Amino acid sequence: GKACIALGLSSTILPSLAKAFNTNHNQLIPFTQQPLPYAYNALETAIDATTMEIHYTKHAAAYSKNLADACIAESVDTKSVSLEGLLAKVSKYSAKIRNNGGGHFNHELFWQSMAATSAGKPSGKLADAITKDFGSFETFKTQFTDAGKNRFGSGWAWLVKNNDGKLIVGSTANQD
């Protein structure tokens, strides 16, 4: 299987993503795919334009559409619940909402986590934390790559800050 890999710190990326969802909440009825913040070819050193376009317009778009359909079918009041709120109580909903809600959220986070102007290596506080917690950026990259490669089937590799404030690499299956 293939593994999609996203990189993000909840203290930096999730608040901006949540703000984008909440700012546009009236347009997200039900939850719609947000425009890419860069052109399909902007990340060509890592992802070619064709792959990016297909993944965004077909694969990720399907999660958004299927989530919208599931919310309608299950009478979810999307005017009063954010995507984060929906996912926080996802056990109340069907597998279709769980899978498509997770897929939609993970992909929106994935798109927002990448930048066309990136040097391919973090800087500042993130770089310092990676060096502190992994010893080097190369060690982190190896662990992160292994988390994606070793995920059986489809899934995600994550860089997260644990409750002790330490950066760790983890992985989740499918759209969890």
Q: Which of 47, 1, 15, 12 is nearest to 122 (CA)?
A: 12
Which of the two residues, 10 and 132, has the higher pLDDT score? Answer: 132
Interval 70-104: pLDDT, tens: 999 999 988 888 889 999 999 999 999 999 999 99
Assign residue 22 the CATH number of its domain. 1.10.287.990
Helix/strand/coil (H/E/C) assignment for every residue in the chain: CCEEECCCCCCCHHHHHHHHHHHCHHHCCCCCCCCCCCCCCCCCCCCCHHHHHHHHHHHHHHHHHHHHHHHHHCCCCCCCCCHHHHHHCHHHCCHHHHHHHHHHHHHHHHHHHCCCCCCCCCCHHHHHHHHHHHCCHHHHHHHHHHHHHCCCCCEEEEEEECCCCCEEEEEEECCC
Q: Quick one: 129 and 108 in the same domain?
A: no
Q: Minimum mean pLDDT among 21-30, 108-117, 131-140: which range?
A: 21-30
Q: Minimum mean pLDDT among 30-39, 67-76, 128-137: which range?
A: 30-39
Instruction: Tell me the sheet residues that pair with 157.
Output: 5, 171
In a domain? residue 75: yes
Q: Quick one: 130 and 155 in the same domain?
A: yes
Domains contained in the chain, number: 2
CB 3 within 8 A of CB 149: yes
> What is the β-pairing status of strands 167-173 and 3-5?
unpaired
CB 8 within 8 A of CB 14: yes
Q: Quick one: 35 and 80 in the same domain?
A: yes
Assign residue 146 the CATH number of its domain. 3.55.40.20
The model's pTM is 0.76
Q: How confident is the model at residue 14 (pLDDT cuts 50, 70, 90)?
A: very low
In a domain? residue 157: yes
Rg of the chain taking only CA atoms, in angstroms: 17
As a whole number, the mean pLDDT across the chain is 83
Q: What is the dihedral of CA 90, 93, 96, 98, to 10 degrees?
A: 0
In a domain? residue 155: yes
CA–CA dist 107, 150 (Å, integer): 20
Q: Quick one: 101 and 147 in the same domain?
A: no
Q: Quick one: 20 and 39 in the same domain?
A: yes
Q: Quick one: 149 and 70 in the same domain?
A: no
Q: Quick one: 66 and 134 in the same domain?
A: no
Q: Quick one: 135 and 102 in the same domain?
A: no
Q: How confident is the model at residue 59 (pLDDT cuts 50, 70, 90)?
A: very high
